[in-house]
């Protein structure tokens, strides 16, 4: 039987984070749900079969990781598993990418995971067991046009994962990234709306264009990403990896 762990999931209000919360709860873990929109967290909490705690927070707030860690420690105990799914995507041609767009991508996709690792890894190493999984992207391994800020932030977070995994390898703590292709979530719905707005294509053909980017010719489901996260939580031997869940788009 799986040991019940205390897990925190960022970005748990919708999309991939929500699917991860479901998967971990269904496997018997206790799940801390965090994102900015408290109402969405409450909806997810009501759907879960097991215990959950809702901790609304902005993951880009530099104090958020310690505050979440300390609140969970007071209510349940130390966080043993962290799944960092909070993120945003934006697109713009390189020459039109503003400093604000660049900083926004770095703050949520790279700075926030760094601060969560810094806040949570010491307790995990002291206790000799921990799992950290960052939801990166196939953009962590491959460069596409018009997404320079997003791609740089995701390459950066994979570098963070690899270095942290090397540093913590003998401690019982693993650090991995899951690198999805286009996943059927509200974020992708937004990308489809943006493609329609900028190209004049209808939503169905914009969606078909994203489906065609995966060799399996469909979007990835959030549940398929959650399955890879659960593998990372179960495995003691997998660390420092960027596990592609992208229908074969990136072969590395």
Binding residues for ligand NAP (CB under 6 A):
10-11, 13-17, 35-37, 40, 58-60, 85-89, 108-109, 135, 137, 180, 182-183, 185-188
Angle between helices 148-168 and 112-127 (to 10 degrees): 10
Q: How far is the CB of 135 from ligand NAP (least distance, A)?
A: 4
Pick between residue 67 and residue 169 the one whose CB is nearest to ligand NAP.
67
Q: How far is the CB of 68 from ligand NAP (least distance, A)?
A: 10
Q: How far is the CB of 76 from ligand NAP (least distance, A)?
A: 20
CA of residue 101 relative to chain centroid, distance: 19
Does residue 231 carry a catalytic annotation?
Answer: no
Instruction: Note whether 40 and 48 are within 8 A (CB).
Output: no
Pick between residue 174 and residue 191 the one whose CB is nearest to ligand NAP.
191
> H-helix or E-strand containing 133?
strand 130-135
CA angle 91, 41, 8 (to 5 degrees): 85
Give the whole-angstrom CA distance, residue 131 versus residue 115.
15
- Residues 6 or more apart whose CB falls under 8 angstroms from that of 226 comprise 16, 19, 20, 22, 23
> H-helix or E-strand containing 210?
helix 203-211
Pick between residue 126 and residue 209 the one whose CB is nearest to ligand NAP.
209
Task: Map residue 36 onto helix, strand or coil.
Answer: coil
Q: How far is the CB of 248 from ligand NAP (least distance, A)?
A: 15
From the list 150, 153, 155, 161, the catalytic residue is 150
Pick between residue 109 and residue 241 the one whose CB is nearest to ligand NAP.
109
Question: Which residues are catalytically annotated?
Answer: 150
């Amino acid at each position: 039987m799986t040991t019940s762990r205390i897990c925190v999931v960022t970005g748990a209000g919708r999309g991939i984070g929500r699917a991860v919360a479901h998967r971990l709860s269904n496997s018997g873990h206790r799940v801390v749900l965090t994102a900015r929109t408290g109402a969405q967290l409450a909806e997810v909490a009501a759907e879960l079969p097991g215990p959950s705690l809702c901790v609304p927070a902005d993951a880009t707030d530099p104090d958020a990781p310690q505050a979440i860690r300390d609140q969970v420690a007071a209510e349940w105990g130390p966080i043993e598993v962290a799944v960092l799914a909070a993120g945003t995507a934006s697109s713009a041609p390189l020459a039109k990418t503003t400093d604000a767009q660049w900083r926004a991508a770095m703050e949520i996709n790279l700075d926030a995971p760094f601060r969560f690792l810094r806040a949570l890894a010491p307790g995990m190493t002291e206790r000799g067991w921990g799992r950290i999984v960052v939801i990166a992207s196939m953009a962590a391994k491959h460069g596409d046009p018009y997404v320079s800020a997003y791609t740089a932030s995701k390459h950066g977070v994979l570098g963070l994962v690899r270095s942290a995994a090397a540093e913590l390898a003998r401690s019982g703590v693993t650090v991995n990234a899951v690198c999805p292709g286009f996943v059927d979530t509200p974020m992708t719905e937004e990308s489809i709306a943006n493609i329609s707005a900028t190209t004049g294509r209808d939503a169905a053909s914009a969606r078909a264009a994203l489906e065609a980017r995966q060799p399996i010719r469909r979007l990835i489901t959030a549940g398929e990403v959650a399955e890879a996260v659960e593998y990372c939580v179960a495995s003691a031997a997998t660390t420092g990896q960027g596990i592609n869940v992208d229908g074969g788009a990136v072969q590395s």
